[in-house]
Amino acid sequence: MATKADTAALPAEPAAGSTFPLLVLIAGWLIPGAGHLILGKWVRALLLAAAILAMFIIGVALGGKLYSPNTGEPLDILGFLGDLGAGLPFIIGRFSGLGQAPVLTAVADYGTKFISIVGLLNIVAAIDAHSIAIGRKPA
Amino acid sequence: MTLSHFSAVLICAACIGIVFGITQRAEPKMMIRFGAYTFVVLVAVTIAASWGMWLIKH
């Protein structure tokens, strides 16, 4: 029989069919750190947002490339999928014409890698927020 | 903006360390430890790989 202390340590179970975890996942993907912010983990949210956005801004400032989905090159499509993980920063950057110059220097290539890594890190952060929301990870 | 390869590695490892620390551990103390561990391993592996490539070339 579970004691009061045992039940207090368990993560909150979302209601069946709840859209809240999905909202956390999508918010965390679109805005870095937003998933954790919705869950009330504002320190984690600030650190995640700072790390992810700083890396994205540095990547763009280095002359990194924001990939297009329709070049027909398989590696470009993979790069686009990686970049897309960054959410709104990538979408805003893409539509405002950032990262369209050809990558001709090693520094610009670092920038391209930074942006791809940002996308992957943001996906990890969004999934972590989702795991907390569904109770798979302790809050 | 320009960066040396080493400073780019430090920035990249720091950001990855923060995200991995927060997402891969549940307790704050363990988050800091794992973040620091990730940072050190990434930088160390990059330096080791750099020396490895230098040795192959020479």
Q: Convert the pLDDT of each residue in A55-91 to its tens digit.
A: 999 999 999 999 988 878 888 899 999 999 999 999 9
| Within a domain: A103 | yes
A121 chain-B contacts, CB cut-off 8 A: 15-16, 19
Out of A14-23, A27-36, A49-58, A127-136, least confident range? A14-23
Q: What is the mean pLDDT of chain B?
A: 95
Q: What is the pTM of this model?
A: 0.87
Q: What is the pLDDT of residue A69?
A: 84
User: How far is A128 from A102, CA to CA, in rounded Å?
Assistant: 34
Closest chain B CA to residue A54: B15
Mean pLDDT (whole number) for B17-39: 96
| Within a domain: A6 | no
The total number of structural domains that make up chain A: 1
Do residues A89 and A105 lie in contact, with contact meaning Cβ atoms separated by under 8 Å? no
| Within a domain: A126 | yes
Q: Which of A58, A63, A125 sits opposite B19 (nearest CB)?
A: A125
| Within a domain: A40 | yes
Q: Is the pLDDT of residue A139 over 90?
A: no
Task: Report which of A108, A109, A64 is spatially closest to residue A89, judged by C-alpha positions.
Answer: A64
Task: Report which of A82, A81, A72 is spatially closest to residue A113, judged by C-alpha positions.
Answer: A82
B3 to chain A, any CB pair closer than 8 A? The answer is: yes
**What percentage of chain B carries pLDDT values higher than 70?**
100
Q: Is the pLDDT of residue A7 over 50?
A: no
| Within a domain: A7 | no
Range of the domain at A60: 18-133
| Within a domain: A112 | yes
| Within a domain: A2 | no
Residue A2's pLDDT band (boundaries 50, 70, 90)? very low
Dihedral sign, Cα of residue A109, residue A111, residue A112, residue A118: positive
| Within a domain: A34 | yes
